[in-house]
Amino acid sequence: MSVIVHLFALLAGALEPLFATFATAAAIVVATVCVRALLHPLARAGARAEKARARLAPRTAELRRRHGADPERLRRALLELHTREGVSPAAGCLPMLAQLPVFLVMYRLFTAERADGEAGGLPEDRLGPAPLGGVYADALADGGVFGPQGLVYLCLFAVIAAVAAWTYRRARTAALRAEVPGAPGLARILPLLSFGTLATAAFVPLAAGLYLATTTAWTAAERALLHRDRGRGADGEV
């Protein structure tokens, strides 16, 4: 952890001439963007797999109709179809899973304490009046919803909510368009998960919330780019 703290402090120091007291917060955003850029090839692979699954939706529906009463035979038939077409069901999950260690590191970085009780991470750094190691409950206890710290969280929540709402509209439209007769109605509900990030941000340190806001905004923009041909009936390469 000390090595990560040192590297992060170097990044914040490099950004200090540009962002002054907001250098640590800016370092979180820059580090997040760098991680997401490194994971972009996985996102492209996931987008290709998602388009392939959409292309195979009629054949998948036919298999469900024919083998719906035999779950084991249906599973084998779907596996054979995906293998023959080179589609990996897990491809779309890889970018999300790859981000989990980064989120955990960010969480620990601003909450860690050494055995002697002193700060082991960077909990004393701040975003304006709000400590990056603090949580929303601390802000409510120090001035309430519209206090100095509370306003910082409200701005963060507003960004996450705006991204979630935009993502929800796109995901729901795509799900309804791709859904075929007999497909699970869960496809209509899954887009609501985009608001889960908003709930999470209320309970994690502000630093982790800033990471969530940055990575969800990247995801929304990335999906809009990779799926820009959706709705035009194109299967264009990603």
The domain spans of the chain are: 2-226
pLDDT band at 105 (very low <50, low <70, confident <90, very high): confident
| pTM for the model | 0.76
**Eight-class DSSP state of 179:** -
End-to-end CA distance of the chain: 37
How far is it, in rounded angstroms, from Cα 202 to Cα 153?
A: 8
Tokens (6 digits) for 181 = 């007769």
Query: Nearest Cα to 103, choosing from 201, 223, 194, 202?
Result: 201
SS3 125: coil
Task: With cut-offs at 50, 70 and 90, classify the pLDDT of residue 228.
Answer: confident
What would the mean pLDDT of 29-45 be, rounded to a whole number? 90
Query: Which of the pair, 188 or 61, is modelled with greater confidence?
Result: 61
List the one residue out of 46, 30, 91 whose CA is nearest residue 215.
Answer: 30
Classify strands 130-131 and 126-127 as parallel, antiparallel or unpaired. antiparallel
Instruction: Label residue 149 exposed, middle or buried (CB < 10 Å: 0-12, 13-18, 19+).
Output: buried
Q: What is the pLDDT of residue 167?
A: 84
DSSP string, 191-226: GGGGGHHHHHHTTS-HHHHHHHHHHHHHHHHHHHHH
Provide the pLDDT confidence category of residue 177 given band limits of 50, 70 and 90: low
Strand partners, 126: 131
- Determine the Cα–Cα distance for residues 64 and 176; give it in Å rounded to an integer: 19
E strand or H helix at 231, and its extent?
none
More confident of the two residues 7 and 124: 7
Q: Are 153 and 169 in contact (CB under 8 A)?
A: no
To 10 degrees, what angle do helices 206-226 and 148-178 make? 30
The burial of 186, by beta-carbon neighbours within 10 Å (0-12 exposed, 13-18 middle, 19 or more buried), is given as: exposed
Distance CA 198, CA 157 (A): 6
Point out the least confidently predicted range of 61-65, 166-170, 172-176, 177-181: 177-181
pLDDT at 97: 76
The closest alpha carbon to 227, from 49, 34, 22, belongs to 49
Please give the average per-residue pLDDT across 6-31, as a whole number: 90
pLDDT tops 90 at residue 29: yes
Instruction: Give me the percent of the chain exceeding a pLDDT of 70.
Output: 77
